[in-house]
Amino acid sequence: MAKKANKVEAERFLAMLLQYSRDGHFNHIIFSVRLNRNPAYTRQVMNVELKRISKKYGNDERAYVSMTAEDGSQILALINRLKEEMFSDNAEKIIWETDLLARHSQEFGYHQIRERDQYNNLEFELLL
């Protein structure tokens, strides 16, 4: 019997994602949590896409990772904590500080693209 894989470490994942997006000059990180409607199985899937809109570096859009929402639940919880901190300060952006980042801090904002619907689908983006 196969062992169940461990969940993704939220802080390490977010730090790597922010570092990669900064190095690649991406300015939007889009999270999409959707219900997979395959008749063989039904599960929540979380997709992370990077998007760049830039005259200097050109426009680009690429998939970063896809995982089950259960594996990414800690990532969503971390982003939710940061979002609540941002809204409690009435700020448009927040600075996240951690030793996992090469520069030890990253400024980003939160933008809701789609509210939760009846299938619990959710879509939001982090603005860098």
Q: What percent of the chain has pLDDT over 90?
A: 38
Per-residue pLDDT at 65: 94
Q: Do the domain assignments include residue 4?
A: no
pLDDT class for 123, splitting at 50, 70, 90?
confident
Q: Do the domain assignments include residue 1?
A: no
Q: Do the domain assignments include residue 2?
A: no
Strand order in the sheet with 43-52: 60-68, 43-52, 28-36, 122-127, 105-114, 93-97
The dihedral sign for the CA sequence 80, 112, 66, 27: negative
The number of domains in the chain is: 1
Three-state DSSP class for residue 34: strand
**How far apart are alpha carbons 59 and 10 in whole angstroms?**
28
Q: Do the domain assignments include residue 5?
A: no
Cα separation values, 11 from 17, 38, 39, 80, 121, Å? 10, 31, 34, 13, 23
**How far apart are alpha carbons 35 and 111 in whole angstroms?**
21
Q: Do the domain assignments include residue 62?
A: yes
Whole-structure pTM value? 0.83
pLDDT exceeds 90 at position 91: no
Structural domain boundaries, residue 52 = 10-127
**How far apart are alpha carbons 77 and 21 in whole angstroms?**
20
Three-state DSSP class for residue 37: coil
Q: Do the domain assignments include residue 99?
A: yes
Per-residue pLDDT at 1: 43
Q: Do the domain assignments include residue 86?
A: yes
